[in-house]
Structure 1
Amino acid sequence: MRLLLLLFILLISNQLIAQNGVLKGRITANDAPLAYASVNIKGLGKGASTNSKGYYEIKNIEAGSYDIIVTSIGYQAETINVTIESNAPVVHNVSLKEKPSKLNEVVVTGVSRATQLRSNPVPITVIGKKEIEQHVNNNIIDAIIKGVPGVSAVTTGPNISKPFIRGLGYNRVLTLYDGIRQEGQQWGDEHGIEIDQYGIGRAEVVKGPASLTYGSDALAGVINLIPYIPDGDDGKLNGDVITDYHTNNGMIGTSVGLSYKKNNWKYAFRATAKTAHDYQNKIDGLVYNTGFREFNLSGIARVDKSWGYSQIGATLYDNRQEIPDGSRDSLTRRFTKQIYEAGIDDIKNRPMVTNSELDAYAIAPLHQRIQHYRIYTTNSFKTGDGSSINTSLGFQQSIRREYNHPTVPEQAGLYVVLNTINYDVRYNLPAFGGVETTAGINGIYQSNRSKAATDFPIPDYNLFDAGGFLFAKKSSGKIDISGGARYDNRHISWSNFYTGTNTQTGFGEQRHLPDTAGANLQFPAFKHTYQGFSGSLGLTYNISDRLLLKANIARGYRAPNITEIGSNGLDPGAHIVYLGNRSFNPEFSLQQDIGFIAYLRDMDLIAEIFNNNIDNYIYQAKVTDANGNPVVIVPGNSTYQYQQSKARLYGAELTLNLHPQNIKWLALDNSVAWVTGVNKNQQLIAQYGNAAKYLPFIPPLHIRSALKMNLPGTYGIFTKINARFEADAYSNQNHFYALDNTETFTKGYNLFNAGLGFTIKPVKATQAFYEFFVQGDNLFDTAYQANLNRLKYFEYYKSSPNGHTGIYNMGRNISFKVIIHF
């Protein structure tokens, strides 16, 4: 009887499902298919995204009349009414129109909940996947630099770029991956961003203090890298294959992305591999020990329901990264290599590197290995009346090994394991009186441990960070107001850390109690709690739908990082001995921003000016003795000690994009970025004058122009043909921290780039289609040294027979990229 009842229920269920209808069709824009547009049934919680050909399909819709909302970034939303009938598919095609501006684009970074760009007074720039793909780069930060004025990077070769925003960098820039803060020993110059460049679908950049919602380490701003989740038809496997080749360093990159969607579930997976030999320029030739080999895996699963959504993701990053030391033969200027240990190594009499070693893909024995693992979940729960609870929880582990022992290459000089737990809970309250309010708490728990190493630049430490905030925004007529306050508490501690000499190897080693007889107490025990208030208040005045005036004032907070307070030893990969200061206080900034935005018929104009006063600013300075000679603690390595003083940074960014409506296929984008950093240490300036007047590592004036052509229509099998010509001009950097030769004058330079892209149109809609990109960077093979290039200072001689010292940036590079969508 029970079996008959079950069969009856199944038959009835199948019959009911069979009676449901289907809505399908195609979404286009300018007579071209629009991929990844969203089609949602209002009030029903059902929806779909268009595939790469613009087609969509929504199944199992009960019969009735519905409003269908069609949206896509950069286009005006369309709402249509359709009637669904049982057992009869309804076909409805929609053509979207482009938005008059990007002001209505929604962002999720630096705010309490998803917010339109136009209503946010804080400067935010968005870079989409299309723009990222069109710039063929060695890493994701380089793509952001090309697209966002005011963003630059400290580099150590082509695969390591640490972002700077308006002259502030290191852990003052908070890097997020899908909203989870990235933690990977980011205090070091040569510690790059441990993220797969091919897996990013969108980047949101906040310029200015974002401590209000993220706490410490967001003093300069935030870069949120949002992973790309391919979308397509229900029940069908979709994906892409990316192949990338660079002529300068022979970089070969391959990435495979897969996605699958069924009902309310989405799944995405990506695997990437990159390898490169040494890069080259016309001054240095092939630069020894700048190759790398990198592997990435990532996966995401997400479910969207009427109650909200839940997402879980995981990533794996594994990079073997060579780091040069710049040693050369004094006459020929050919690179040399270390074959003896530091005690008997003569830097100026090393053997020369052979040609076969310079262009080999094999990783040299002296290198770094960086592994980063992450698993996280983000969730949103609707609680009625427009309110919701958002949560995120993540665990990540960063393992860094730096191999610097040529006689025992398997012995790591630095070997540290950093474990981090991220947490975030925020409640979006129901709107009251037109005011949207969010309250939340977030932070991290962190532990760092040294393993079987021989060098110990930082102690083993524990860190717990927690902060609570309240954020509110309101729109009234033409004015949008937002702001809030936050309190942070960070506790950091470590126990006595002893080091000694291993009698068998002669290398350093960590000693543990009670076996500390004859050992050195390298890091005495330390315990401290850092506290700080931060907040912001800003408004946007909507002069018209296309003209906006923005103003914001913010107080930022940053606790000193581990190297600034605790370092006392050699970082082998940086070739620097760092010395910290336990007495440092937190940094506090007070920044004012004013911006004017005009999205007109034939041009866009964005003008932003800022002024930032920082108390207790922390910076590196080279250590010298009483005679002005560099202090050498470890031969062949520089010694830097952290300093603290007041500072001021001020500057502006101007963007002028011309896009005449009578020539829609042509555009000319122009930008100017300028920042000056002034050291306010009056005692130091009185003693040393202009040598100590400016802050170190401030980017020079940067002017960028790009002529872009996007040809409409189809030409045989070719479509979406685009080309661009770019010019980058960097001025002389005369304003630098010259005390003790910490920094030197940097000559200005001009770079010219060009790119071409097109799509091969498939014969059938069900076939895969191909995108091709060719790009030339530094087309005239200009020899230059960027002032933020660490390799500029890798020099062991006071003079050079060819008049050039240090290592130069990459020369001409031609890149080829193919993307196969299926």
Structure 2
Amino acid sequence: MKLYTCMLLAFLGIANIHAQNNLQGTVTTKDTGQPLPATIYIPQLEKGTVASFDGAYAISNIPKGTYAVVYSYLGYATVSKNIQFSGNSSITHDIILTESAVEMEEVVISTPFHKLQGDNVMKVERASAQALLSSGATTLSEGITTIPGVESISTGTGIGKPVIRGLSSNRVLTYTQGVRLENQQYGDEHGLGINSAGVESVEVIKGPASLLYGSDALGGVLYINPERFAANGKTKGDVQGAYFSNTLGSAVNAGVKTSGEKFKFLARGAYSTYSDYKTGNGQRVTNTRFNETDFKTGIRFQDKTVKSTLRYNYNRSNIGIPETIANQTTSKELELPFQEIDNHILSLEQVLFFGNSSLNVKAGYQHNDRREFEDHHHEEEHDGETHEEEEEEHEHEHDEGPALQMKLNTFNYDVKYNLPRLGNFETIAGIQGMYQTNTNFGEELLIPDATVFDFGMFATTHYHLEKVDFQAGVRYDRRSIDSDAAGNPIEDHYIASLNRDFNSFNAAVGAKMDFSEHIVARINLASGFRAPNLAELTSNGSHNGANRYEIGNAALTNEQNLQTDVSVEFGNEHVEIFANGFYNAVNNYIYISPTDETIDDSQVFQYVQSDATLYGGEFGVHLHPHPLDWLHVESTFETVTGKLKSGGYLPLIPANTLRSTLRVEFNESRYFKKPQAFATLQNTFAQNNPGSFETPTKGYNLVSLGASNVFKLNDIALELQFSVTNLFNETYISHLSRLKRDAILDTGRSINGTVKVSF
């Protein structure tokens, strides 16, 4: 019935839209009146152009309706204008941009109304993938740790899980290609699984986002925006290579994209390979090597009535699972144990324009095939064997198949209707859902075969006044989990069947207030929820990656939280200052706790619940003294504390961090574009409030340096980046490293370089 309704709405929309609108004008500077080759972009339509050198621009085939048009150019304040297109019309809109030492403001996609961050009621952090990786980060999961309030639980350099204000795993939802990423993210050794190639930017919602995204967004959302299509009439390509001295790692990727008036296409392939990483004392951590193959492609059709986008991503990751420091080698061949992970993501987005309203339908299919190969032989069986004989045994075990194999198939949908504007009100209503199956094929079983079904409905509205913006919304969700029994009922490892339903009502309300031209404040109050995952409900066996025996709890209930966020920002031509504070009360927080039992020579841990609180914030300053606009001094401090009501501290809470960066932007010339250099000092303080089965962690200081430049020659651009991370080869252990329990040090000094040719 829902399908027929959507088809009927699509038919009615297409049947009633015949109007074509055009937008044209010029972009000039305020002080001198000189023309600017600015970028003009309509976020809701994902349609735009670049003005010519005389400042003139034109965009055609604009559907009927009211859209925000964003004008931006480096070194000038970004401007957003709401323009109404009523029919067959040609609108002329000239714009004047004012010089600004602040970076260009970008459009935020993860919140429902596609506004500039300055217009958003909810505070969202946004960074381009290029900026995240320019600091020398090996992977995207490492790069996001430069965003205030975001950290990563790491297993070497190959596995990283995002942490937002102390919450991680299934409490942080990841979106890619517009659909929620499902790849068995509950596991400690299950990484992000997204290659940075073909990623445009990353947005972070810090705090409960269940109103927009449902279960598992209790702690926040990591929203990964894919690469944009080329502008109309353009064909572009690029090739990029990177090298990392610490791991002797290399990464290459190449892409091409072309766009006509209605059809657009892009494709990108990437491959990377890394050896074991080297610590600050010169030791290589055995089996932290990994390699990754990635392919992304997309096609879009767009005219004045419809925008249809199909994207596909294939990713193969081969990741070693480190256990100890053993043979010192720079080999890139994986040793046992290791994971092979295939991930397929297919997404389709259809936007239909109905004059003053629109319908956005997204559908996604994902297939995650996770295989783990283990060494089943006892150490004594290897006595007297040569290294070559051991390798032959490992290859034989690989041929026999994985010890653990799980295939996760997920179909999800997201339907949003943008209602016609009513005065200053913008309103969106929608439904979301997911159908998921997990099937085991290996000889070992971590979680049972199961089916998960989600359904949610929501409505949110935004009310705009000259100095104040309000936003509010409500939502209802229901999740059903049905799992099969596994094992023999008379044996210890038996897992009983499960049939549970979880539901929750959630709401959010917020306001943004412009106290003056330079001071902006935001306050948000939101609730969120998370249904327990299969591992928490049904586990009964040894978790080799965590060196413990885990027992689930079939009686677990929803986690439910209420968080208050307050932020204040001050900015002028010389300085920007921000302060973000939060208080998060979580009812029925689920965590794993040690017991006095031992099974299979491993200590038993059991999932339990208790109320918890988390509080803290991020504070920062950015100095760019005028007229020294080339000089930038940036400093941010982030802190979070997590406590259990039953006593003690929450596990996996990041240590307080102070990060200071001196950045210099040199003058551009005919051949030199965007030359800059930076130096960063990261002070990570001691974590003296560990969880019940954690140990305290000492503080440490890391220094990084870098420089970059773009050489421009006609239509060819050569971009060079150079960086050194952990300049002084500091020996340290992060509190969020999973190798900390074995006293294994983190990564030492690395000299990194990137070369990119665009044409």
- Structure 1 partner of 2:430: 440
Matched, 1:454 2:456: no
Over residues 719-756 of structure 1, what are the superposed CA-to-partner deviations in whole Å (9 max), with x where a residue is unaligned?
A: 32110000101111111113xxx100100001000101
Partners of 2:106 and 2:467 in 1: CA distance = 18
Instruction: Call closer, same or farther: CA 1:433–1:244 in 2, change over 3 Å.
Output: same
Counterpart in the other structure of 1:188: 187
* Alpha-carbon distance in structure 1 between the residues aligned to 2:35 and 2:468: 37
In structure 2, what residue type is equivalent to 1:474?
Answer: Y
Q: Deviations over 1:19-38 (max 9, x none)?
A: xx999999999999999923
What is the CA distance between 1:57 and its match in structure 2?
8.7
For the residue of structure 2 that corresponds to 1:523, the secondary structure is coil
59 and 608 in structure 1: CA distance in 2 versus 1, 3 angstrom threshold: closer
Aligned residue number for residue 819 of structure 1: 756
| Partner of residue 590, structure 1 | 562
Q: CA 1:675–1:23 in 2, change beyond 3 Å: closer, same or farther?
A: closer
Corresponding letter in the other structure for 1:438: I
Q: 1:569 to 1:78 in 2, by over 3 A?
A: closer
Structure 1 position 666 matched with structure 2 position 638: no
Name the structure 1 match of 2:346: 375
CA distance in 2, matches of 1:220, 1:421: 23
Query: In structure 2, what is the equivalent of residue 725 of structure 1?
Result: 679
Relative to structure 1, the CA distance from residue 432 to residue 282 in structure 2 (aligned partners, 3 Å threshold; closer, same or farther) is closer
What is aligned with 1:286?
284
**Could you report, residue by residue, the CA deviation over 1:762-810 in whole angstroms, capped at 9, with x for unpaired residues?**
1xx23x210000011100000000000001113xxxxxxxxxxx21100
Deviates more, 1:807-816 or 1:410-419: 410-419
What amino acid does structure 2 have at the position aligned with 1:463? V
Unaligned runs of 5+ in 1: 1-20, 63-67, 80-91, 327-334, 337-352, 500-515, 626-630, 686-692, 795-805
- Paired with 1:174 and 1:34, the residues of 2 have a C-alpha distance of 40
Contact 1:28–1:54 (Cα < 8 Å) also in 2: no
**CA, structure 1 residues 159+34, in 2 after alignment: closer, same or farther (shift >3 Å)?**
farther
Matched, 1:735 2:725: no
- Aligned equivalent of 2:39: 37
Question: Is 1:754 equivalent to 2:724 in the alignment?
Answer: no
1:240 aligns with 2:238: yes
* Deviation string, structure 1 residues 582-631 (Cα, Å, up to 9, x no partner): 11110000111111011222111110111011100011223334xxxxx3
User: Corresponding residue for 1:136?
Assistant: 136
Q: Deviations over 1:125-167 (max 9, x none)?
A: 1112442352332111222211x11111100011211011110
Quote the Cα distance in structure 2 between the aligned partners of 1:677 and 1:668.
31
In structure 2, the CA distance between the partners of 1:239 and 1:575, relative to structure 1 (3 Å rule), is farther
Gaps of 5+ in 2: 1-21, 63-67, 82-92, 377-392
Alignment of 1:365-514 (within 5 A): 365-385=336-356, 387-405=357-375, 407=393, 408-410=397-399, 411-451=401-441, 453-498=442-487
* CA-CA distance at 1:569 after TM superposition: 1.9
Residue 363 (1) aligns with residue 369 (2): no
**1:597/1:605 contact within 8 Å kept:** yes
Structure having the higher Rg: 1
**Superposed CA offset, 1:300-328 (max 9, x none):** 112222124111100000011001112xx
Please state whether the residue corresponding to 1:465 is helix, strand or coil. strand
Is 1:679 the counterpart of 2:616 in the alignment? no
What does residue range 744-783 of structure 1 map to in structure 2 within 5 Å? Answer: 744-762=695-713, 765-766=714-715, 768-783=716-731
User: Contact 1:118–1:540 (CA<8 Å) still a contact in 2?
Assistant: no
Report the Cα distance in structure 2 between the residues aligned to 1:35 and 1:133, rounded to whole angstroms. 27
Q: Give, as a single letter, the amino acid of the residue that structure 2 aligns with 1:743.
A: E
Q: Which whole-Å deviations, capped at 9, do the CAs of 1:170-229 have from their partners, x for residues lacking one?
A: 111111003211000001111111111121111111010000010000011111010112
Deviations 1:451-502 (A, max 9, x none): 1x12212111100011111111101331111011111100001122226xxx
Contact 2:251/2:273 (8 A) holds in 1: yes
> What's the TM-score once normalised by structure 1's chain length?
0.80
Matched, 1:529 2:495: no
Mapped partners of 1:562, 1:306: distance in 2: 45
Inter-CA distance 562–152: structure 2 relative to 1 (3 Å threshold): same
Give the 5 Å matches for 1:479-628: 479-498=468-487, 522-625=494-597
Q: How far, CA to CA, are the matches of 1:412 and 1:309 in structure 2?
A: 43
Q: How far apart in 1 are the matches of 2:80 and 2:468?
A: 26
Whole-Å separation in 1 of the counterparts to 2:677 and 2:30: 21
Secondary structure class of the residue paired with 1:611: strand
SS in 2 for 1:524: coil
Partner of residue 123, structure 1 = 123
Which residue of 2 is the match for residue 9 of structure 1? none
CA distance in 2, matches of 1:28, 1:250: 48
TM-score computed with the length of structure 2 as normaliser: 0.86
Q: Distance in 1 between matches of 2:307 and 2:359?
A: 11
Task: Please give the alpha-carbon distance, in whole angstroms, between the structure 1 residues aligned to 2:41 and 2:498.
Answer: 57
1:14: which partner in 2? none
**Which secondary structure does the structure 2 equivalent of 1:141 belong to?**
helix
Q: How does 1:344-363 map to 2 (within 5 A)?
A: 353=327, 355=328, 358-363=329-334
CA distance in 1, matches of 2:117, 2:271: 35
Distance in 2 between the 1:117 and 1:134 partners?
23
1:65 aligned partner = none
Q: Quick one: structure 1 residues 641 and 36, their matched pair in 2 at CA, closer, same or farther if it must change by over 3 Å?
A: farther
Task: Provide the rounded CA distance (Å) in 2 between the counterparts of 1:59 and 1:606.
Answer: 37
Q: Deviations over 1:677-716 (max 9, x none)?
A: 01101xxx4xxxxxxx1111111111000000110222x8
Q: Deviations over 1:648-705 (max 9, x none)?
A: 0011210111111210111011100011001101xxx4xxxxxxx1111111111000
Find the residue that maps to 1:196 and give its secondary structure: coil
Judged with a 3 Å threshold, the aligned counterparts in structure 2 of structure 1 residues 490 and 103 are, in CA distance, closer, same or farther, namely farther
Q: Note closer, same or farther for the CA distance 1:201–1:562 as it changes in structure 2 (3 Å cut).
A: same
Q: 1:163 to 1:749 in 2, by over 3 A?
A: same
- Residue equivalent to 2:220: 221
8 Å CA contact 1:375–1:395 kept in 2: the answer is: yes
> Which runs of structure 2 are paired with 1:638-649 in the superposition (5 Å)?
639-649=604-614
SS of the residue corresponding to residue 497 of structure 1 reads coil
Distance 1:195 1:129, change over 3 A: closer
SS of corresponding position for 2:686: coil
Partner of 2:738: 790
Whole-angstrom CA distance in 2 between matches of 1:569 and 1:53: 66
Compute the displacement of 1:365 (Å): 3.9
* Distance across 2 between alignment mates of 1:431 and 1:303: 26
Amino acid in the other structure paired with 1:725: A
Instruction: Name the SS of the counterpart of 2:536 in structure 1.
Output: helix
Check the 8 A contact 1:414/1:571 in 2, yes or no: no
Seq. identity, %: 31
